[in-house]
Amino acid sequence: MERRGLDFVALNQGNAQLTGLYRSHIGDWPKFFKMDTLSKAGFVASELLLKKTGEHRLEGEEYTHSRAIVLFGSTASLCADRNYQETIQDRDNYYPSPALFVYTLPNIVTGEIAIRNHWRGETSFYVLEAPDAAQMAFHLACTFDDPETESILAGWVDSRNNDDYQVFMTLIDREDAADTEWLAGQLDLIINNLNK
């Protein structure tokens, strides 16, 4: 029997406006407005994916550590780095901001998603040269080496400047990752949607 393909959400600055998507589809998480572009992109894509797959987020005192978040990217926090650098570049205009500095780490987006959904599983951010399906499939499969990890919110997220981003998010379970070639094929199909 043919296995069903992975559900995914792919967005970029050409086809989606993050604040608009937040207002029309999410709306109950004001922390969104504090986030940098990388985190906004990752957050919105994760929310849209979870709505699409019909998964309810854990709330109140309910937490899980069986769901990991593993994201990849090539720019990492470069956009936030540039924003922060501007605040320290000039001696006469020197005003280093903790609110900007905290986003100069790419794994912050994994933390934002973990907080929103009450997931206490693994969170990882890997920097690659480009979205490479085989390389990503290999490292995602490795993540299941942790016996507690049952599924992964996986994706790619990049942002070169405040008005530019590329993101996809998908959900992978143990069975999906057991066949690494199949997983790589699925990721390849999704990657082809990144620039559409």
Partner 1 sequence: MARVIRCIADNVVSPLGTTSRSNYDSVKAGRSGLALYESMGNISTPFVLSRMDRVVIDGLCAELGIQGNYTFFEKFLLCSSVQAVRDAGIDASSDRVLFIISTTKGNVSLLGQPQEGVEQERVLLARAAREVMRFFGNPGKPIVVCNACISGVCAQIEAMRALRSGRYDYAVVIGADEQSPFIISGFLSFKAISDEPCRPFDKDRKGLNLGECAATVVLEASDDKKCGWELVCGAIRNDANHISGPSRTGEGSYLALMEVLKQCNRDKLAFVNVHGTATAYNDEMESIALYRAGLIDVPVTGLKGYYGHTMGAAGIMESILSMYAVRDNTVLATRGFAVQGTTWPVSVSNGLRECRGSEFIKLLSGFGGSNAALLYRYSE
Smallest distance, Å, CB 58 to partner 1? 9
| Sole window of 12-20, 107-115, 162-170, 188-196 interacting with partner 1 (rule: CB under 8 A) | 107-115
Residue 164 to residues 14, 72, 83, 111, 139, Cα–Cα distance (Å): 9, 17, 14, 21, 26
78 binds partner 1 (CB under 8 A): yes
- Rule CB under 8 A: say whether 30 interacts with partner 1: no
Query: Where do we find the tokens 């998603």?
Result: 113
Q: Which is nearer to partner 1, 15 or 161 (CB)?
A: 161
Provide the token pair at 146.
């942790």
Q: Is residue 154 a contact point for partner 1 (CB under 8 A)?
A: no
Please give the residue ranges that form the binding site for partner 1 (CB under 8 A). 63, 65, 69, 74-78, 81-82, 84-85, 88-91, 94, 96-98, 101-102, 104-108, 110-112, 114-115, 117-129, 132, 135, 138-139, 141-143, 145-146, 148
